[in-house]
């Protein structure tokens, strides 16, 4: 068990295609300082995947990093707290904060948490439809006593946002998301409408076609600079190529220096 607070987050996600026809998924993770870990998994009974983890969620921070053997041991929990990623079938997922009551479904289904749901999707879902079926089999209990929604996209180009209002799981067809609800009747609840408008304008102008470099440029356009009144800023930006199983990562808004990884390396 761990306790941590969440500041005013400002994450952004979107799904698009490259001129060559590859499906791509863009993701900004905005929070206070977040020591990040890039995680690759290859389960014997599931799909290979790559994902990003905020190590603050398992007890690390600016003054405590996994540099020693004992500290590194706790990183074994990292596969169970991913915040975004893609699997070998091309299913990409990201989670975004919604400033409302914590999700706490109470039916007769087995319980699951936000980050373990992402792990399940990456391990077991080959399409958006399969991801939705999996989520529908569980009662969602939000990690960190907060509320979230998921953006999920697959290699075919389908992209949805999954939201929880009360005990109801809602699915909205949308190629982008920020930090407000998209379910009809709750459209303006939350924050990030300005970033959503920026994403919408850019994607509509490009007709949903973005080269990976252009996708990273769009993430830069909706990135969050550190401001005195806010502790939150963009910690990482990822452009996942769902068709190729690769990712470009910019850490700390350093868009001039990108890391590149592959599921298959």
CB 20 within 8 A of CB 213: no
pLDDT in tens, 216-252: 999 999 999 887 666 789 999 999 999 999 999 999 9
Give this prediction's pTM.
Answer: 0.93
Average pLDDT over residues 124-141: 97
pLDDT category, 212, cuts 50, 70, 90? Answer: very high
> Percent of the chain beyond pLDDT 70?
93
pLDDT category, 71, cuts 50, 70, 90? Answer: confident
Residues in the chain: 265
Domains of the chain (ranges; CATH) run 12-262 (3.60.60.10)
pLDDT category, 139, cuts 50, 70, 90? Answer: very high
- The pLDDT assigned to 9 comes to 58
Q: Which two tokens stand for residue 199?
A: 């994403």
pLDDT for residue 57 is more than 90: no
pLDDT for residue 1 is more than 60: no
Q: Which of 224, 251, 222, 225 is nearest to 238 (CA)?
A: 251
pLDDT in tens, 104-117: 888 889 999 999 99
How far apart (Å, rounded) are the C-alpha atoms in residues 91 and 154? Answer: 4
- The pLDDT assigned to 4 comes to 46
CB 167 within 8 A of CB 106: yes
Return the higher-pLDDT residue of 166 and 137. 137
pLDDT for residue 199 is more than 50: yes
Tell me, what DSSP letter sits at residue 102? Answer: P
Residues with Cβ within 8 Å of residue 151, at least 6 apart in sequence: 13, 14, 15, 25, 93, 94, 96, 159, 160, 161, 174, 176, 177
Residues with Cβ within 8 Å of residue 180, at least 6 apart in sequence: 98, 187, 188, 189, 190, 191, 192, 193, 196
């Amino acid at each position: 068990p761990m306790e941590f607070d969440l500041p005013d987050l400002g994450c952004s996600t979107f799904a698009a295609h490259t001129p060559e026809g590859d499906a791509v998924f863009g993701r900004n993770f905005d929070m206070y300082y977040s020591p990040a870990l890039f995680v690759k998994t290859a389960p014997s009974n599931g799909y290979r995947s790559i994902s990003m983890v905020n190590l603050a969620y398992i007890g690390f921070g600016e003054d405590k990093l996994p540099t020693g053997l004992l500290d590194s041991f706790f990183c074994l929990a990292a596969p169970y707290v991913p915040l975004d990623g893609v699997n070998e079938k091309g299913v990409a997922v990201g989670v975004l904060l919604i400033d409302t009551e914590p999700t706490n479904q109470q039916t007769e289904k087995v319980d699951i948490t936000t980050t373990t749901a992402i792990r399940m999707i990456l391990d077991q879902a080959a399409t958006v439809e399969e991801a939705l079926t999996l989520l529908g089999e569980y009662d969602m209990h939000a990690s960190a006593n907060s509320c979230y929604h998921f953006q999920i996209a697959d290699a075919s180009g389908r992209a949805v946002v999954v939201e929880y209002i009360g005990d109801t799981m809602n699915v909205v067809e949308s190629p982008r998301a920020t930090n407000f609800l998209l379910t009809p009747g709750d459209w303006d609840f939350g924050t990030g409408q300005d970033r959503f408008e920026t994403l919408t304008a850019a994607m509509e102008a490009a007709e949903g076609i973005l080269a990976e470099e252009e996708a990273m440029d769009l993430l830069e356009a909706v990135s969050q600079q550190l401001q005195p009144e806010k502790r939150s800023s963009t910690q990482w930006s990822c452009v996942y190529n769902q068709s190729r199983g690769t990712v470009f990562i910019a850490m700390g808004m350093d868009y001039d220096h990108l890391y590149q990884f592959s599921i298959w390396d």
